[in-house]
Structure 1
């Protein structure tokens, strides 16, 4: 087979999925374009600190240090050899008619493509808690970024709350760095976590590693918690009020709170590129529709957590598969996929077990008081959202137009899932029946001056 050399392949994202996709394409003789928001490649999980940073990889990445260093080395070598066209610190803001509209350090630029691989990763999935709009309340991912990028703990007395492996991981990383963790509050009960164990045993070493990290937390870790309120003053959080599994009210003093309930796929660009979506009840979110090779449309391929939340190892596999699917469709000799497809199936079973063990706190979200802020960008409360459902019906985009929920700078990334639960509860329907917010460009805030061209 011969390569259609005129075809231009662009990869968005240089995390594990994007880096492995690039490596696979280069090995087949294709020179891809890589566009990434980061200062350096690595994504969130293998985020690299700035030059001059002194903490060793073992401190930054723990048991994944060797993987991170190896992956960084492979990608850096490809860049140095000129085998790919790498554009860091560049943010894709819109996509239409096979053109990416990108904000670069030098201003606006357009990248045309014939085939597009989106490896956009994921971000924190957060739930509204009374008082969570206070300064000093962060997502778990934000706390991890500060630690990896600058060696900074975002508070002197820290409470972390939510559920999922990221909760345990960030707590253990902060503890190892010397931070003062006051409590780790997991809303999933032991019984619920055990319900996902069979699926999670598809990757027993990962389970054991998670249990080891949890054991390090000792009495700081609390199961089956119900969060009641983040108490704050003018300077930020002063404490968290919560109920333990026995229903007893507790209060833990702190000056920083980190929240997160696992992750949600970053799908804004996929939606603008024409991808279809299906609602996944285990993950409680809309997931892009793609085949085993990541094909999601004509010339569109998805990989990594932007397609399915499978972790760094799964992202690497998905990146290779998406690039291989791209090569096959181009008529270029491609590597075999049997081993990767088999591994991906095992990782999907593990992820499904994880989703069941650490579920989205649906009941907690639906029961938040009316005065609770749901959309932090626009300051929309749960009561306002419920009221607009009464007048406007249960379709999420109509509720958005009436209430402004999801219209802020995050474009619904933080409030869409919780908002859907509140709309569904008020209307007496399932969350999947309220629909999903339509994507709109630009998908990130941008300086107007960088986007307006001279006449």
Structure 2
């Protein structure tokens, strides 16, 4: 009997693994909650669009290639879209939800390629309509040229600020200014690491030239202070940051805009890995990530992890990791000799190391400094689900809370439906600032990972 190989996530890592396994004649079941394969970065328009002038040619080619790779191997890939994995049931069984119905999927080998989520940074006004995370803005643009607003300010850190600014401008949005929290000198120090991907570096310079040609100002060492408006974003305040990313309010500048794009990085979506019981470690940039070996194998021998859910390093790295996991699984299934697999994987890991070095340059530059914790005032909501304000967290820590679990029990933070996806990273950073990083622990996800409607439990037989 053929072994069942299940892949959770149809982004670059998941599709790369599925198409590679198809070359060895291995059938896979790929599960994704979106209506189309590709992940956030390569999914492309969700409706027919005649033109995508805001997306560069290389990105559109990459989108097309992923979709073609899937189509050419579709006979070996059972793609289940708009399907959510709610968690593990018995050994080697997943509970899934599709079209309001629950079902089970068994596996012999499992690859988790669940991607990442945006990291929220709370500040006064962050819940106002018009305040958006950069990934959400980019998803709207890629899904069919949906403009988030007319006049924008972009703040945060990392290369995504520049990319999204260019895409928004090409989509006929007005960019008032871009504010990069890191100082230019910090970026300059990473030049050698950035040159691990010379073409990417040239692409970045090309985008910088585009901004300059269209008089879009880019300010280094500046960042967000607050957002204001009556029922809708109307004004954004920014200020220069010191080395710890604390704003200098005496030099603050205001912008009258209808949209604010905020991007302070991403965190791995590892909740399913945690529920399954994989060994997890905490990484400041990637969040809680599963421990994997050189073959992308987790602490459980039949479970592999790849892509941003294991290490946030970009789409190209995710695809390579998916390919590595596929070859490892093919070797386990005796479709590929172990020595051959080792040779292929060793070569891919050398390429991967260059991608990691490139990414680590931006991680060093965009390392979230604890001064960001000074942005929310005591009445700022930190946990949206449970409406927990900063003052409640202050009080709990001052009363002796020394880890995330105790803080959760004291304040109900992370106890809402999102299970801490939005607020947990503020708590981690806050405990670190209090000198409690060694004791902080991690948020424990609950089963099911998403709420199950009562209609799904009805007996419709």
TM norm structure 2: 0.91
**Contact kept in structure 2, 1:49 and 1:150, CA below 8 Å:** yes
Query: Does residue 136 in structure 1 map to residue 130 in structure 2?
Result: yes
What does 1:44-443 correspond to in 2, within 5 Å?
A: 44-56=40-52, 59-60=54-55, 62-79=57-74, 82-96=75-89, 97-105=91-99, 107-218=101-212, 219-234=216-231, 236-244=232-240, 247=248, 248-281=251-284, 283=285, 285-296=287-298, 297-333=300-336, 335=341, 336-366=344-374, 368-425=376-433, 428-443=434-449
Distance 2:26 2:174 in 1: 49
**Contact kept in structure 2, 1:368 and 1:382, CA below 8 Å:** yes
Distance 1:106 1:408 in 2: 21
Q: Which residue of 2 aligns with 1:21?
A: 17
Q: Deviations over 1:255-279 (max 9, x none)?
A: 1112121211111111112221223
**Contact kept in structure 2, 1:238 and 1:253, CA below 8 Å:** yes
**Contact kept in structure 2, 1:242 and 1:251, CA below 8 Å:** yes
**Contact kept in structure 2, 1:237 and 1:255, CA below 8 Å:** yes
Cα offset for 1:381? 1.5
Q: Secondary structure in 2 aligned to 1:181? A: strand
Q: Secondary structure in 1 aligned to 2:142? A: helix
Cα offset for 1:358? 1.6
The alpha-carbon distance between structure 1 residues 321 and 408, as it changes in their structure 2 partners (threshold 3 A), is same
**Contact kept in structure 1, 2:236 and 2:254, CA below 8 Å:** yes
Q: Deviations over 1:89-127 (max 9, x none)?
A: 111111232111111125111101111101111121221
Unaligned 5+ runs, structure 1? none
The alpha-carbon distance between structure 1 residues 135 and 60, as it changes in their structure 2 partners (threshold 3 A), is same
**Contact kept in structure 1, 2:223 and 2:238, CA below 8 Å:** yes
Q: Secondary structure in 2 aligned to 1:192? A: helix
Q: Secondary structure in 2 aligned to 1:442? A: coil
Cα offset for 1:245? 5.6
Distance 1:453 1:159 in 2: 51
TM norm structure 1: 0.92
Distance 2:56 2:293 in 1: 31
Q: Secondary structure in 1 aligned to 2:439? A: helix
Distance 1:95 1:233 in 2: 44
Cα offset for 1:10? 0.1
Cα offset for 1:17? 0.6
Distance 2:431 2:38 in 1: 37
Distance 2:162 2:385 in 1: 28
Unaligned 5+ runs, structure 2? 243-247
**Contact kept in structure 1, 2:155 and 2:223, CA below 8 Å:** no
Cα offset for 1:233? 1.0
Q: Secondary structure in 2 aligned to 1:44? A: helix
Q: Which residue of 1 aligns with 2:26?
A: 30
